[in-house]
Amino acid sequence: MTSKTPIAQLGAEVLRRQAQPVDDFASPEFHKLIETMHATMLEANGVGIAAPQLGASWQVLIIASRPTSRYPHAPEMPPILMVNPRFEIIDNSLHKDWEGCLSVPGIRALVPRYLAIDVHYQNQQGELCRLALQDFPARVFQHEFDHLMGLVYLDRVENNQDIIAETEFFKRIAA
């Protein structure tokens, strides 16, 4: 894999498959995947990416909330690599907000997500970690976690009228 690895698009089988846990943290393929994920996410102005989006059916994701052309109001946080993640809901209330996806270009949708979650994961060395997330970073995590479960954000939309063209989305946030 190189940084030019294409992002799997909606309809690709790998996006509908449940990803497998990582058990070999020393594997050169694993480390190359991480490098490629970082590079691809940055090149695409993403705020997160999951291994299945690069054709690798492994439980690996990165969340990297920051202002980009795609998410101009996103809060700043350092990129966090999460391997074999799981999460617990801290607050059961759901909040709808706009999401897009590098695997579903040109479309945005209102998606209900939990506002506060507690994430358990392994880092690049396999060490166990825990992180509480809320608001936009929690949304990004849940979006990327869905990719590991074979889901895309459109599967979570409650009403088809909550799906719009990205051009309309940018008009709305500019107003």
Q: Residue 166: which CATH number?
A: 3.90.45.10
Which parts of the chain have pLDDT scores under 70?
1-4
Predicted pLDDT at 72: 86
Q: Which residues contact 120 (CB under 8 A, 6 or more apart)?
A: 85, 86, 87, 88, 128, 129, 130
Beta pairing class for 163-165 and 80-101: unpaired
The answer to whether residue 130 is domain-embedded is yes
Cα–Cα dist 50/66, whole Å = 17
List % helix, strand, coil for the chain (3-state, nearest 5): 30, 35, 35
> Is 73 annotated as ligand-binding?
no
Query: Is residue 8 in a domain?
Result: no
User: Which residues constitute the domain of residue 67?
Assistant: 13-174
What pLDDT is attached to residue 70?
A: 86
Would residue 3 count as lying in a domain? Answer: no
Task: Let me know if residue 47 belongs to a domain.
Answer: yes
- The answer to the question of residue 57 being in a domain is yes
Which pLDDT belongs to residue 154? 98
In whole angstroms, give the CA distance from residue 78 to residue 63: 8
pLDDT at residue 3, rounded to an integer = 46
- Whether residue 4 is contained in a domain is answered as no
Give the model's pLDDT for residue 4: 61
Domain-located, residue 5: no
Name the residues annotated as catalytic.
144
d(CA 33, CA 29): 6
Copy the structure tokens of residue 169: 């989305």
What is the pTM assigned to this prediction? 0.95
Question: Does residue 7 fall inside a structural domain?
Answer: no
Q: Does 31 appear as a known binding residue?
A: no
Any known ligand binding at 95? no
CA 93 to chain centre: 20
Number of domains in the chain: 1
From the centroid of its chain, how far is CA 139? 9
